[in-house]
Amino acid sequence: MRIVSLDEIKAVLPKIDLMQEIEAGFSAYSNGEVVVPPVGELNFEHPPGDVHIKYGYIRDDDVYVIKIASGFYQNKLLGLSNGQGMMLVFDQKSGKPLGLLQDEGYLTDVRTAVAGAICAKYLAPNNIETIGIIGTGIQARMQLEYLKNVTDCRSAIVWGRSESALDQYKTSMDDTDFIIETTMALEQVTDNCNLIVTCTASEKPLIRKDQITGKIHITAMGSDTPNKQELETNVLSKADLIIADSRSQCEVRGEIHHAIRNKKVSMDSIVELGEIINGDRQGRTTSSELTVADLTGVAVQDIKISKAVLKYI
Amino acid sequence: MRIVSLDEIKAVLPKIDLMQEIEAGFSAYSNGEVVVPPVGELNFEHPPGDVHIKYGYIRDDDVYVIKIASGFYQNKLLGLSNGQGMMLVFDQKSGKPLGLLQDEGYLTDVRTAVAGAICAKYLAPNNIETIGIIGTGIQARMQLEYLKNVTDCRSAIVWGRSESALDQYKTSMDDTDFIIETTMALEQVTDNCNLIVTCTASEKPLIRKDQITGKIHITAMGSDTPNKQELETNVLSKADLIIADSRSQCEVRGEIHHAIRNKKVSMDSIVELGEIINGDRQGRTTSSELTVADLTGVAVQDIKISKAVLKYI
């Protein structure tokens, strides 16, 4: 079994066409070619932490993948990152372990950011004027970084809850070629951006329906549990098109789940990202105003990225 | 994270009091101190194979453990062992990976054999005359090996389906101090042995009620799925005491599950191995004739053995 360090993983990523890999993953998923059992879970109280085991395979592929990812929210006190994790790749024909990717959660961050870029590719208005980012964490940085793959826009307005978080964010983005404006007034994002990515762990809606006018695409990637919510459910009912990374997951977690529970939208109306990639369903059209994509993270993204890393190592 | 090879694991095992570790595991399990979510599963058809992910932790312990074990039954064609696997040990306070034990399924074999010895310790008649082994595979060998921890008996009768399997078995046991007789007539085992361990993957009952007379303990460890069955359900209804490693698991897989389905026994009558170890329930008494223990394998055994290995490495 190949043991691969985080440094090795980071070194090999530029060789991989991540957009192509992850798009192919969503495509296979929506074609019913992917086996993804329910997520395994362990929860701890003292100190609080949770562990998720996501696993699955693409039928007739070479490999199956098991991802272990944990979040212990007091790790800072131990001088450790909250997120810990690894991806394990096995031979689908024999069960032989092929690779252990000690990514410490990094590949999950990357595949999540790539999914955001794929949403923008298929759903954002043609002319992205300014990108809006809601949040100041890791994904708030990485989503911008990976959006470079699909747009020439290098102007962003970033919303955060505190000046210090926004300052820190701006400093961390110094070495990118984005021109970044920061704000604590959410309207500054909604008034000026036609591609907005929400990247918070908020449990209360941040964006309201009345803030949204004109041709806008929103990718809501922060809410991946039943509790989290970044968009008022009215934002979804206003949308011309609502896209899920996985219909079955979005029915029970994330933005769509809240809108379904509030009877603001019905599952029939939800289109899967893979269906748009496959050409089975239409994405944004010239008459579309608001489109909303809800990303909860699908194991096929882990399968695709870990297999690709192992191939290029 | 410490990466531990199979050779290193084998070298360290003699330093560990395995009986004590696994007994403590069953004890904690029956005391309700162990969190064991349902087993994760992947199934493959071409070629046929299955993967099990067993995981859990003892409350207020240092670690949690995730075990990945697979069986691909055509691996022989690839020159590989059918069983592949590893155990992963993580810090329960931070999620930090502590150790990867590349045991290739060996620790599962060991902890299973140790559980057999624990059953014999608490449930076999005082004077074990001859040990009966049903089957000729890995566990048929390892159960005998670990029974040495609890009995001075070195006489065994081994039942198998073919002369060649029995010859192979006998040869493989040449370097042990057991005097081994082999047979293809099951009565030879039931007539002469008062401790019998069934170690097959049979899906049809092998031992019948009418074959069992006198003071006998049977440990049925082969049947760990809903389909497998080594004992006629009447054997269980004849027993003075039926013991499960895990009541909840045995309700849905293994011998007890068949007897429950056929209404031959009721779940109320089933005692857990840990309850006997804890002294909460009585094991064999002077008046007991037949006792039957059903082992399906519990994640707490994996937790205990992997933690101990990592400690001594």
DSSP A77-140: GGT--SEEEEEEEEETTT--EEEEE--TTHHHHHHHHHHHHHHHHHHS-SS---EEEE--SHHH
Task: Record the tokens describing residue B80, joined without a space.
Answer: 């590989």
| CA-based nearest residue to A254, from A200, A304, A212 | A200
Q: Is B144 exposed, middle or buried (0-12, 13-18, 19+ CB in 10 A)?
A: buried
Q: Return mean pLDDT, chain A.
A: 96
Q: Taking the alpha carbons of A123, A126, A132, A133 in that order, is the dihedral positive or negative? A: positive
Other C-beta atoms lying within 10 Å of the C-beta of residue A238: 17
How much of chain B, in percent, has pLDDT values that exceed 90?
96
Flag if A51 and B64 touch (Cβ within 8 Å): yes
Confidence of residue B224 (pLDDT cuts 50, 70, 90): confident
Q: Measured between beta carbons, which residues in chain A are less than 8 angstroms from residue B73?
A: none
Distance CA B84, CA A262 (A): 47
- β-strand partners of B133: B158, B197
Q: Is A90 exposed, middle or buried (0-12, 13-18, 19+ CB in 10 A)?
A: buried
Helix (H, G, I), strand (E, B) or coil at A224: coil
| CA-based nearest residue to A190, from A165, A169, A207 | A207
Distance CA B285, CA B126 (A): 10
Instruction: Say if CB A196 and CB A239 are below 8 A apart.
Output: no
Instruction: Give, as one character, the DSSP assignment of residue B79.
Output: T
Q: Measured between beta carbons, which residues in chain A are less than 8 angstroms from residue B3?
A: 3
- Summarize the confidence of residues A289-295 as an average pLDDT: 98
Q: Measured between beta carbons, which residues in chain A are less than 8 angstroms from residue B41?
A: 37
Flag if B84 and A93 touch (Cβ within 8 Å): no
The side-by-side arrangement of strands in the sheet containing A179-183 is: A179-183, A155-159, A131-134, A195-198, A216-220, A290-294, A241-244, A270-272
Other C-beta atoms lying within 10 Å of the C-beta of residue A17: 11
Q: What pLDDT score was predicted for residue B225?
A: 86
Q: Pseudo-torsion of CA A110, A300, A117, A225, nearest 10°?
A: -80
In terms of CA atoms, which chain B residue is nearest residue A59? B44
Distance CA A193, CA B216 (A): 79
Instruction: Give, as one character, the DSSP assignment of residue A174.
Output: T
Q: What is the pLDDT of residues B142-196, one digit of tens each?
A: 999 999 999 999 999 999 999 999 999 999 999 999 999 999 999 999 999 999 9
Q: Taking the alpha carbons of B154, B157, B158, B163 in that order, is the dihedral positive or negative? A: positive
Distance CA A133, CA A156 (A): 7
Q: Pseudo-torsion of CA B199, B200, B202, B208, nearest 10°?
A: -50
Judge whether A81 is closer than 8 Å to chain B, CB to CB. Answer: no
Q: What pLDDT score was predicted for residue A31?
A: 98
- Summarize the confidence of residues B223-231 as an average pLDDT: 91
In angstroms, what separates the C-alpha of B173 from chain A's closest C-alpha? Answer: 28
Distance CA B79, CA A270 (A): 48
Q: Measured between beta carbons, which residues in chain B are less than 8 angstroms from residue A94?
A: 47, 49, 72, 75, 78, 80, 84
Q: What is the pLDDT of residues A41-67, one digit of tens each?
A: 999 999 999 999 999 999 999 999 999
Q: What pLDDT score was predicted for residue A120?
A: 98
- β-strand partners of B156: B131, B180
Confidence of residue B66 (pLDDT cuts 50, 70, 90): very high
Which segments within chain B are labelled E, that is strand?
Answer: 2-4, 34-35, 40-45, 48-58, 63-72, 83-91, 97-101, 131-134, 155-159, 179-183, 195-198, 216-220, 241-244, 270-272, 290-294
In angstroms, what separates the C-alpha of B279 from chain A's closest C-alpha? Answer: 29
Q: Measured between beta carbons, which residues in chain B are less than 8 angstroms from residue A37?
A: 40-42
ipTM above 0.90, yes or no: no
The full length of chain B comes to: 313
Distance CA A51, CA B312 (A): 26
Distance CA B21, CA B107 (A): 13
In terms of CA atoms, which chain A residue is nearest residue B89? A68
In angstroms, what separates the C-alpha of B56 from chain A's closest C-alpha? Answer: 7
Distance CA B32, CA A141 (A): 44
Q: What is the pLDDT of residues A202-227, one digit of tens each?
A: 999 999 999 999 999 999 999 888 99
The full length of chain A comes to: 313
Distance CA A109, CA B217 (A): 55
Classify strands A216-220 and A179-183 as parallel, antiparallel or unpaired.
unpaired
- Summarize the confidence of residues A98-125 as an average pLDDT: 97
Flag if B90 and A70 touch (Cβ within 8 Å): yes
Q: What pLDDT score was predicted for residue A245?
A: 98
Q: Measured between beta carbons, which residues in chain A are less than 8 angstroms from residue B54?
A: none
Q: What is the pLDDT of residues B68-92, one digit of tens each?
A: 999 998 998 999 988 899 999 999 9
Flag if B102 and A97 touch (Cβ within 8 Å): yes
- β-strand partners of B216: B290
Q: Tell me, what amino acid is at A206?
A: L
Q: What pLDDT score was predicted for residue A238?
A: 97
Cis peptide before B125 (omega within 30 of 0): no
Task: Record the tokens describing residue B248, joined without a space.
Answer: 């909840």
Confidence of residue A76 (pLDDT cuts 50, 70, 90): confident
In angstroms, what separates the C-alpha of A112 from chain B's closest C-alpha? Answer: 21
| CA-based nearest residue to B158, from B148, B150, B149, B172 | B172
Task: Record the tokens describing residue B68, joined without a space.
Answer: 């990945």
| A18-22, A187-191, B74-78: the lowest-pLDDT one | B74-78
In terms of CA atoms, which chain A residue is nearest residue B44? A92
Distance CA A120, CA A122 (A): 6
| CA-based nearest residue to B111, from B310, B312, B303 | B303
Q: Cα A231–A232–A238 angle (5° rounding)?
A: 95
How much of chain B, in percent, has pLDDT values that exceed 70?
100
Flag if B40 and A55 touch (Cβ within 8 Å): yes
Distance CA B54, CA B37 (A): 8
**Chains A & B: contacts with CB separation below 8 Å:** 101
Q: What pLDDT score was predicted for residue A180?
A: 97
Q: What pLDDT score was predicted for residue B73?
A: 86
Task: Record the tokens describing residue A148, joined without a space.
Answer: 């470079």
Q: What structural domains does chain A harbor?
A: 2-107+300-312 (3.30.1780.10), 114-297 (3.40.50.720)
Flag if B84 and A94 touch (Cβ within 8 Å): yes
The side-by-side arrangement of strands in the sheet containing B290-294 is: B179-183, B155-159, B131-134, B195-198, B216-220, B290-294, B241-244, B270-272
Is residue A311 predicted with pLDDT exceeding 90? yes
Find the CB nearest B70 among A47, A68, A95: A95
In terms of CA atoms, which chain B residue is nearest residue A96? B84
Task: Record the tokens describing residue B245, joined without a space.
Answer: 């490693």
In angstroms, what separates the C-alpha of B95 from chain A's closest C-alpha? Answer: 6
Q: How far is CA A180 from CA A116, A153, A158, A217, in A?
A: 19, 11, 7, 19
Find the CB nearest A40 among B37, B70, B80: B37
